[in-house]
A and B are shown apart, each in its own frame.
Chain A
């Protein structure tokens, strides 16, 4: 067995050991060996309910529609990002990621504020717009979240395609439209499929968005698991639903792997040569179209978020900082804001940053170890294993950890564990991309000069990879900061982070104060993205 295969094996085992027990705990919840027939009867009744299958159907449909729209909208942007140089390209690339790392509640507030009853669109066009309080609202919010994911993966796929294919095709008489359908799309098909499935999975296990927009009529399996566990206190039903959700998700991940391998993306990457072209190389009509497209997508992504900012600075029709002042010791009605949030702002800030820091440290270190061990290996089955958390719902994982370790491990550490596992696929991918900056010959040279592994780490690896390490850390930090599901499921209200505080303010109808908190949060994320942006190097052929 080669060293890299051994490393794959060990990493897979460790990872499965962390992921499977909590999941199996939830799947088997309510099962007692003493009376298996009762469990079977209960499980059968859950599977027999029409509402179960309605939620399965709705989970699939909303996720499929969100994924299809995200991918379709992302294709032109990905093409431009992958092929052309223009001023602000890097900033735009970073900005598109902002909605992705926003807590679902901010995106929800943004969508309601823009498309909702008293929203900007309603005021512009008149009329009482209600379409957002349905599956449409869910799809809009999911698309906002995930366009950046699709954009990055597809652009990454395009950057892997040797540009000489385009030249050959042109020399054979193929014009731009034919080239798109006969050459580009088949060559980037694996990226399209990957992006589609990744977005599908995010939407399939989405929690907060569906909880708010879905109401009673539209609920996904994820929301049903949470309701069965905490509202109906039906462990068996929660377990059965979690198993059902996992089965559907696993089926889809398997399908992706199968399709990706069949399309033979690897050969497109051999001998790859890729150079971005100047923006001026685009014909003028195409430039105009690109600008229109960019403006439309920008409006779609940022106009709702801008609404959040504007409304946070608005109080009873006027401009002011009252919402912000309320956060620092004000009241809403008769109740103190800190009482509604169930924690003073300073504590929320401290808890949020503390949890996110711990999760980001744990996530980055784990990602570094895994990416470092697998650096010489091509993506393969190990990636399937490490992608597993994407197919496991946040509620299931968090619930499992809580059921397994409640009273043994402090809740805050369980949250850190849950966040690290959940964010791992993305954080690992990010770190793995940065690993390319460390060619084997650097390490081999160091070793031939007598450096031991730890010495190499300090003297070669970290100095070469520091940008990537900071970038990965910042990314993991942002993802953890936005986490709502694990904190709510494990903390059960005792641990208050930004998203939980916002959730409570919204529950108390204190929208303005919630928006002010959202703006503060965005400030934090802006700072993080400044770090991400300044530590980013133009990496080709990479997804998130």
Chain B
């Protein structure tokens, strides 16, 4: 397990504070905007940066002041950083050579990793002849070769074209599950964060905003920031909540009579709403009348803006609705989540 205990790092115009654990076999994602401090956390764990205060522990051992080469933590950069003077096999074997692993054992391990990353036969290829995805897999194999205690991945798919990212994500998940290596994955892609993570940590301005399983963070976020950052969301003030069917709420709304009633207190994902007739069976807790104001076409679905007495709501529904059409909105019970 890796623990960051009360870590502080100050850069003058930016400061980071982190207190988190990465458990055995876990794939943890650090998710946030550019400049939120995700990569800094990774660099601190790797030893490329030293914290001003706090401790970093790996399996209970303090590695805070240990140089990177003695931490046994693998690192993969977004643009692969394969050594250009070495071929694929030599790149993967680099860490094994450092560990002075005997030749035959080294060759065996390289072959295993080539197989694991589905790069069999690439051993003697020059790294400059590989595609982006192949280079990324070599980088992954190279990081895994010395059997590190943890793997750090800094936006590893951001330089890969969108079509290939899906298969690489599956690859990564397969490799991580096969090796069981604790992994920290940094991304600003919502899809990657939700798809890959065992646990998701949302960062903002150098601090952790929220942490939990992807489902929890997505469906029951504590903060408005996390709700908005993980996907489209309808937000409601206390006053708006009163105009909605109360069965839609997952808890009793707070009694805001202190002037703070303008702030959003609850969120609802657009895909939870449906037009009348399409509501999930058994959960028609009540409906809301409205008129379609705008239609956004996204291929397999449309994003409708519907005017209701509770305000304008985003609704994700199948294509077919038209502007001006009167609709009845339905929603499963408890789908509106009250923020903490």
Q: Which residues of A contact B (CB under 8 A)?
A: 162, 164-165, 167-175, 178, 182-183, 186-187, 189, 263-268, 270-271
Alpha-carbon gap, A265 to B83, bound state (A): 11
Note all chain A residues with C-beta closer than 8 A to B81. Answer: 162, 164-165, 167-168, 271
A186 → chain B, closest Cβ, in Å? Answer: 4
- Contact check, A167 vs B46: say whether CB atoms are below 8 A apart: yes
- Contact check, B69 vs A170: say whether CB atoms are below 8 A apart: yes
A172-B67 in contact given A165-B83, A187-B85, A271-B79 (Cβ < 8 Å): no
- Contact check, A172 vs B83: say whether CB atoms are below 8 A apart: no
Residue of A whose beta carbon sits closest to that of B48: A167
- Contact check, A268 vs B77: say whether CB atoms are below 8 A apart: no
Shortest 8 CB-CB distances between A and B: which pairs?
A: A172-B95, A267-B84, A170-B68, A171-B75, A186-B85, A170-B69, A268-B84, A173-B98
Alpha-carbon gap, A187 to B84, bound state (A): 8
> Which secondary structure dominates chain A's binding surface?
helix
A172 → chain B, closest Cβ, in Å? Answer: 3
A172-B98 in contact given A187-B84, A267-B84 (Cβ < 8 Å): yes
Note all chain A residues with C-beta closer than 8 A to B69. Answer: 169-175
Question: Which B residues from 57 to 78 make CB contacts under 8 A with A?
Answer: 67-75, 77
Alpha-carbon gap, A178 to B68, bound state (A): 14
- Contact check, A182 vs B74: say whether CB atoms are below 8 A apart: no
Is the CB of B256 closer than 8 A to any CB of chain A?
A: no
Note all chain B residues with C-beta closer than 8 A to A187. Answer: 83-85
Note all chain B residues with C-beta closer than 8 A to A167. Answer: 46, 48, 68, 75, 77, 81
Question: Which B residues from 126 to 141 make CB contacts under 8 A with A?
Answer: 126-128
Alpha-carbon gap, A263 to B69, bound state (A): 26
**28 A-B residue contacts at CB 8 Å?**
A164-B81, A165-B81, A167-B68, A168-B75, A169-B83, A170-B47, A171-B46, A171-B143, A172-B69, A172-B94, A172-B98, A172-B142, A172-B143, A172-B145, A173-B69, A173-B72, A173-B95, A174-B94, A175-B70, A178-B98, A182-B94, A183-B83, A189-B85, A264-B84, A264-B85, A266-B84, A267-B127, A268-B84
Residue of B whose beta carbon sits closest to that of A174: B98
Alpha-carbon gap, A187 to B83, bound state (A): 8
Is the CB of B146 closer than 8 A to any CB of chain A?
A: yes
Most chain A beta carbons < 10 A, residue from B95, B126, B148: B95
Note all chain B residues with C-beta closer than 8 A to A186. Answer: 85
Is the CB of B97 closer than 8 A to any CB of chain A?
A: yes
- Contact check, B99 vs A173: say whether CB atoms are below 8 A apart: yes
Additional A-B contact list (7), CB under 8 Å, known A173-B69, A182-B98:
A169-B94, A170-B48, A171-B143, A172-B142, A173-B70, A186-B85, A189-B85
B169 → chain A, closest Cβ, in Å? Answer: 22
- Contact check, B95 vs A264: say whether CB atoms are below 8 A apart: no
Note all chain A residues with C-beta closer than 8 A to B128. Answer: 264, 267
Question: Which B residues from 294 to 340 make CB contacts under 8 A with A?
Answer: none
- Contact check, A171 vs B68: say whether CB atoms are below 8 A apart: yes
Note all chain A residues with C-beta closer than 8 A to B143. Answer: 171-172
Most chain B beta carbons < 10 A, residue from A172, A173, A183, A186: A172
Alpha-carbon gap, A165 to B75, bound state (A): 11
Note all chain A residues with C-beta closer than 8 A to B83. Answer: 165, 168-169, 183, 187
- Contact check, B74 vs A172: say whether CB atoms are below 8 A apart: yes
Alpha-carbon gap, A187 to B97, bound state (A): 17
Note all chain B residues with C-beta closer than 8 A to A170. Answer: 46-48, 67-69
Count of inter-chain pairs, beta carbons less than 8 A: 84
Note all chain A residues with C-beta closer than 8 A to B85. Answer: 186-187, 189, 263-264, 268
A390 → chain B, closest Cβ, in Å? Answer: 26
Note all chain B residues with C-beta closer than 8 A to A266. Answer: 84
B150 → chain A, closest Cβ, in Å? Answer: 10
- Contact check, A171 vs B98: say whether CB atoms are below 8 A apart: no
A272 → chain B, closest Cβ, in Å? Answer: 10
Alpha-carbon gap, A105 to B142, bound state (A): 55
Alpha-carbon gap, A186 to B126, bound state (A): 15
Residue of B whose beta carbon sits closest to that of A269: B84
Residue of A whose beta carbon sits closest to that of B85: A186
Note all chain A residues with C-beta closer than 8 A to B94. Answer: 169, 172, 174, 182
Alpha-carbon gap, A48 to B82, bound state (A): 53
Alpha-carbon gap, A265 to B84, bound state (A): 8
A258 → chain B, closest Cβ, in Å? Answer: 16
- Contact check, A173 vs B146: say whether CB atoms are below 8 A apart: yes
Alpha-carbon gap, A172 to B101, bound state (A): 13
A182-B46 in contact given A165-B81, A167-B75 (Cβ < 8 Å): no
Note all chain B residues with C-beta closer than 8 A to A270. Answer: 84
Residue of A whose beta carbon sits closest to that of B50: A281
Most chain A beta carbons < 10 A, residue from B72, B77, B79, B127: B77
Most chain A beta carbons < 10 A, residue from B47, B84, B95, B146: B84
Note all chain A residues with C-beta closer than 8 A to B79. Answer: 271
Note all chain B residues with C-beta closer than 8 A to A172. Answer: 69, 74, 94-95, 98, 142-143, 145-146
Residue of A whose beta carbon sits closest to that of B74: A171
Alpha-carbon gap, A47 to B152, bound state (A): 66
Residue of A whose beta carbon sits closest to that of B73: A171
Alpha-carbon gap, A265 to B46, bound state (A): 27
Alpha-carbon gap, A263 to B128, bound state (A): 13
Note all chain A residues with C-beta closer than 8 A to B97. Answer: 182
Alpha-carbon gap, A248 to B95, bound state (A): 42
Residue of B whose beta carbon sits closest to that of A265: B84
Alpha-carbon gap, A169 to B85, bound state (A): 13
Alpha-carbon gap, A162 to B74, bound state (A): 18
- Contact check, A164 vs B95: say whether CB atoms are below 8 A apart: no
Question: Which B residues from 219 to 265 make CB contacts under 8 A with A?
Answer: none
Alpha-carbon gap, A168 to B92, bound state (A): 12
B39 → chain A, closest Cβ, in Å? Answer: 12
A171-B84 in contact given A164-B77, A182-B97, A271-B79 (Cβ < 8 Å): no
A189 → chain B, closest Cβ, in Å? Answer: 8
Residue of A whose beta carbon sits closest to that of B80: A271
Note all chain B residues with C-beta closer than 8 A to A175. Answer: 67, 69-70
Note all chain A residues with C-beta closer than 8 A to B95. Answer: 172-174
Residue of B whose beta carbon sits closest to that of A170: B68
Residue of A whose beta carbon sits closest to that of B126: A264
Note all chain A residues with C-beta closer than 8 A to B48. Answer: 167, 170
Alpha-carbon gap, A271 to B128, bound state (A): 13
Note all chain A residues with C-beta closer than 8 A to B84. Answer: 187, 264-268, 270
Residue of A whose beta carbon sits closest to that of B67: A170
Residue of A whose beta carbon sits closest to that of B152: A171
Alpha-carbon gap, A170 to B146, bound state (A): 12
Partner of B77, one of A168, A183, A264, A265: A168
Note all chain A residues with C-beta closer than 8 A to B127. Answer: 267
Note all chain B residues with C-beta closer than 8 A to A173. Answer: 69-70, 72, 95, 98-99, 146
A298 → chain B, closest Cβ, in Å? Answer: 31
Note all chain A residues with C-beta closer than 8 A to B75. Answer: 167-168, 171
Question: Which B residues from 265 to 282 make CB contacts under 8 A with A?
Answer: none
A285 → chain B, closest Cβ, in Å? Answer: 14
Note all chain A residues with C-beta closer than 8 A to B126. Answer: 264
Note all chain A residues with C-beta closer than 8 A to B152. Answer: 171
Alpha-carbon gap, A168 to B146, bound state (A): 12
Residue of B whose beta carbon sits closest to that of A189: B85
A260 → chain B, closest Cβ, in Å? Answer: 13
B47 → chain A, closest Cβ, in Å? Answer: 7
Residue of B whose beta carbon sits closest to that of A183: B83
Question: Which B residues from 93 to 122 make CB contacts under 8 A with A?
Answer: 94-95, 97-99
Alpha-carbon gap, A271 to B135, bound state (A): 14
A92 → chain B, closest Cβ, in Å? Answer: 28
Alpha-carbon gap, A76 to B143, bound state (A): 30
Alpha-carbon gap, A164 to B126, bound state (A): 19
A196 → chain B, closest Cβ, in Å? Answer: 18
Residue of B whose beta carbon sits closest to that of A185: B85
Alpha-carbon gap, A169 to B145, bound state (A): 12
B148 → chain A, closest Cβ, in Å? Answer: 8
